[in-house]
C-alpha cells in the first residue's frame, strides 16, 4: 500500500513539472550537493533530493545510480562465475524456465534490458532457431527442398534480440562471450538506461529484464518505458529475486544469503561489498504481490507471477493490450 | 640509439603528416623490430563495424527521434538537439550524459539535459 502511494505521489510530482517540494514526497534525506534554482529543477536534481535504498542504506537517487554502476563495473569480469557459484548453477534453470514460459515464435523481436552478459538473449536466439528447424523438419519430411511458401516465410521471420544495459563493462563481457560461442547474427548490443530507453515506440514483441529491475533507481519509470517500447500484444517478463513463502526455507535462505554469499564474493571476485549490496537489495525489493501492483499501475494487463524455487525467484509476466 | 635510427628512417621515407590517422602507420612499421613508441601509440584493434540495421528502431533517448549515423566520427547524431552519441567497439552508447554536444564542437562529454 505504501509503495503504491509513494508511486502516486511521484507521478503527481512529475506531472506538476517537479515544482513539488521534497516534503510532499516525504523525503528528508538530502545529499551534500548544493541547491539549484527552481528553474533548473525541471530535469535533474530532484534525483538528489529524493531518497531511495542502496541495499540497507538510504541514499539519494543520483547516488544510487552511481553506486550500482560501480558495483557492476567491479563484478563484470567474474559475473558469470559468481552466478554459478552463488546459485549452484540453478540460475541457468531459472533462465531456461523463463524461455519456456515465454515460448517465443520464430520472427519475434526481443529486448533484453539489464541484459548484461546476454544470457537471456542468447537463449532466446537458440530457442527460436531450434523451433524453426523443428518446423522445417516437420514440413519437409521427405527431405525435398523447401516450398515457395517456406522460402518467403523465412525471409520475413528473422528473429532478433537486442541486449540493452547501462553498464559498458557488462555488455563488453557479454559481447565477448557471444562471439566466443559463435552467436553473432540477430544479436545487437546497446548501452542504454532502462528509465530512458533509446528505442522507438511499439517495437518489440517481448521485453525481458532478468535480475535487473531491483537495481533500477526508478522502477515505475522503467515499467513505463517497457510499456512504451512493446508492441500492442507484446509481453513483459521479469525474473527477480523475491520473497520466500515457506518460513523454514526463508531462514535457511537468509542464513545462506548473509553468511555465504558475501564470502563467496570475497573469495572468487575479491569484492565483499558488492555482494553484500546484492543480498541486501534482494531484501528491499517489493514482494510478488506488490510488484504485480506496480506492473498494473504502469498499465500492464493479465499480470501473473510464478514462484520458482519456493519463492526465491519470481517470474512476473504482463501484456500490453 | 636504434630507436633514433628507425624514427629517422620513417620520417625520411614517409611524409609525416600529423593529421593523418595514426592507424595508417601500422603496416609501415611492421618491418621494424622495435615498436616506435615515440611516433605513435595507436592500438592494434580495428573497430568492429556498426550494424546500421539498429537504426530502424534506435532513437535518441531524450527526444525519441531517429538518429543519423556518421561514419567519419563513428557517432549517432541527433540533428535536432545537436548531440552525438559515441559508438565504442561497435556498441552504441545511448546514455545522454555521455553524448557530445555538436555546437560547441568539443570532445568533452557534456550532459545536454539531465
Residues of B with a Cβ under 8 Å from any A Cβ are 51, 53-54, 57-62, 64, 66, 88-96, 98, 113-114
- Which residue ranges of A are tagged as binding site for S-adenosyl-L-methionine? 117, 165, 193-194
Helix (H) or strand (E) holding B69: strand B68-70
Would you say residue B40 has pLDDT above 80? no
* Per-window interface: A 50-69 vs B, CB < 8 A: none
Q: Flag whether B113 is in a domain.
A: no
Q: Residues of B with CB below 8 A from A175's CB? A: 89-91
Percent of chain B with pLDDT over 90: 19
Domain residue spans in chain A? 68-139+150-319
What is the mean predicted confidence (pLDDT) over A288-302?
95
User: Of all helices (H) and strands (E), which one includes residue A8?
Assistant: helix A2-15
Strand-pair partners of A111: A162, A207
Q: What are the residues whose beta carbons fall under 8 Å from the beta carbon of A225, sequence distance 6 or more?
A: A194, A195, A196, A197
Q: Is A266 helix (H, G, I), strand (E, B) or coil?
A: helix
% of chain A with per-residue pLDDT over 70 = 79
Burial level of A161, CB count in 10 A (0-12/13-18/19+)?
buried
CA distances from B88 to A235, B45, B94, B104 (A): 31, 12, 11, 22
The pLDDT, as a whole number, for residue A1 is 55
Q: Does residue B9 form part of some domain? A: no
- Tell me: pLDDT of A298 over 80: yes
> Is B96 contained in some domain?
yes
Interface touch B59/A193, C-beta < 8 Å: no
Top residue of B48, B50, B61, B65 to mutate, by most chain A CBs within 10 Å, is B61
The string of pLDDT tens digits covering residues A58-101 is 888 888 888 888 888 888 888 888 888 889 999 999 999 999 99
- Alpha-carbon distance of A140 to A153, in angstroms, equals 14
Q: Do the domain assignments include residue B40?
A: no
Rg (C-alpha) for chain B, rounded Å, is: 19
Cβ distance A189 to B90 less than 8 Å, yes or no, reads yes
Give the pLDDT confidence score for residue A12 in this predicted structure. 55
Q: How confident is the model at residue A32 (pLDDT cuts 50, 70, 90)?
A: very low
Going by their DSSP bridges, the two strands A187-191 and A160-165 should be labelled as parallel
Nearest-angstrom CA–CA distance, A234 and A252: 38
Report the pLDDT value the prediction gives residue A222, as an integer from 0 to 100. 95
Domain that holds residue B70: 52-101
The domain tally of chain B equals 1
Q: Which CATH superfamily is domain A68-139+150-319 in?
A: Vaccinia Virus protein VP39 (3.40.50.150)
**Residue with C-alpha cell 542504506?**
A57
pLDDT, chain B, mean: 69
| Residue A221 confidence (pLDDT) above 70 | yes
CATH of the domain at B70: 2.20.25.10
Least confident of A184-188, A253-257, B35-39, B64-68: B35-39
* Chain-chain contact of A199 with B91 (C-beta, under 8 angstroms): no
Residue A275, CA distances (Å) to A80, A203, A263, A266, A286 in order: 13, 35, 8, 8, 19
d(CA B23, CA A296): 54
Give me the pLDDT at residue A136, please.
85
Average of per-residue pLDDT across A188-192:
94
Q: Do B89 and A172 touch (CB under 8 A)?
A: yes
A212 contacts chain B (CB < 8 A): no
Dist CA A288 CA A245 (whole Å): 10
Total-model pTM: 0.74
Grid cell locating A227: 510499456
- Rounded to an integer, the average pLDDT of A296-319 is 95
pLDDT score of B110: 46
Considering only alpha carbons, which residue of chain B is nearest residue A197? B61
- Enter the ipTM: 0.74
Contacts of B59 in chain A (CB under 8 A): 198-200
Amino acid at each position: 500500500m505504501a509503495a503504491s502511494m509513494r508511486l502516486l505521489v511521484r507521478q503527481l510530482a512529475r506531472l506538476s513539472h517537479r515544482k513539488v517540494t521534497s516534503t510532499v514526497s516525504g523525503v528528508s534525506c538530502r545529499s551534500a550537493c548544493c541547491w539549484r534554482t527552481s528553474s533548473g529543477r525541471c530535469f535533474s536534481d530532484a534525483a538528489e533530493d529524493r531518497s531511495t535504498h542502496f541495499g540497507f542504506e538510504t541514499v539519494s537517487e543520483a547516488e544510487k545510480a552511481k553506486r550500482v554502476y560501480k558495483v557492476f563495473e567491479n563484478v563484470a569480469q567474474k559475473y558469470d562465475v559468481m552466478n554459478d557459484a552463488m546459485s549452484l548453477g540453478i540460475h541457468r534453470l531459472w533462465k531456461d524456465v523463463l524461455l519456456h514460459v515465454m515460448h517465443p515464435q520464430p520472427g519475434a523481436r526481443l529486448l533484453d534490458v539489464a541484459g548484461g552478459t546476454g544470457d537471456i538473449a542468447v537463449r532466446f536466439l537458440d530457442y527460436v532457431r531450434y523451433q524453426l528447424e523443428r518446423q522445417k523438419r516437420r514440413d519437409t519430411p521427405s527431405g525435398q527442398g523447401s516450398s515457395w511458401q517456406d522460402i518467403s516465410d523465412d525471409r520475413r521471420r528473422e528473429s532478433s534480440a537486442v541486449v540493452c544495459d547501462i553498464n559498458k563493462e557488462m555488455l563488453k563481457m557479454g559481447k565477448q562471450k557471444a562471439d566466443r560461442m559463435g552467436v553473432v547474427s540477430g544479436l545487437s548490443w546497446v548501452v542504454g538506461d532502462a528509465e530512458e530507453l533509446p528505442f522507438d515506440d511499439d517495437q518489440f514483441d517481448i521485453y525481458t529484464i532478468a535480475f535487473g529491475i531491483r537495481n533500477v533507481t526508478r522502477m515505475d519509470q522503467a515499467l513505463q518505458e517497457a510499456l512504451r517500447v512493446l508492441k500492442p500484444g507484446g509481453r513483459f517478463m521479469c525474473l527477480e529475486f523475491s520473497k520466500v513463502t515457506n518460513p523454514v526455507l526463508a531462514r535457511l535462505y537468509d542464513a545462506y544469503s548473509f553468511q555465504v554469499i558475501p564470502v563467496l564474493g570475497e573469495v572468487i571476485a575479491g569484492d565483499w561489498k558488492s555482494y553484500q549490496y546484492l543480498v541486501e537489495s534482494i531484501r528491499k525489493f517489493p514482494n510478488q504481490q506488490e510488484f504485480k501492483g506496480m506492473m498494473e499501475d504502469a498499465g500492464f494487463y493479465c499480470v501473473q507471477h510464478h514462484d520458482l524455487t519456493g519463492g526465491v525467484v519470481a517470474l512476473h509476466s504482463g501484456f500490453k493490450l | 640509439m636504434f630507436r633514433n635510427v628507425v624514427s629517422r628512417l620513417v620520417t625520411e621515407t614517409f611524409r609525416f603528416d600529423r593529421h593523418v590517422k595514426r592507424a595508417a602507420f601500422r603496416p609501415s612499421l611492421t618491418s621494424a623490430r622495435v615498436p616506435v613508441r615515440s611516433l605513435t601509440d595507436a592500438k592494434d584493434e580495428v573497430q568492429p563495424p556498426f550494424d546500421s540495421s539498429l537504426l530502424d528502431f534506435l532513437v535518441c533517448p531524450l527526444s525519441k527521434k531517429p538518429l543519423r549515423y556518421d561514419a567519419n566520427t563513428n557517432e549517432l547524431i541527433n540533428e535536432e538537439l545537436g548531440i552525438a552519441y559515441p559508438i565504442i567497439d561497435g556498441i552504441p552508447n545511448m546514455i545522454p550524459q555521455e553524448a557530445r554536444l555538436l555546437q560547441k564542437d568539443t570532445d568533452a562529454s557534456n550532459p545536454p539535459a539531465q
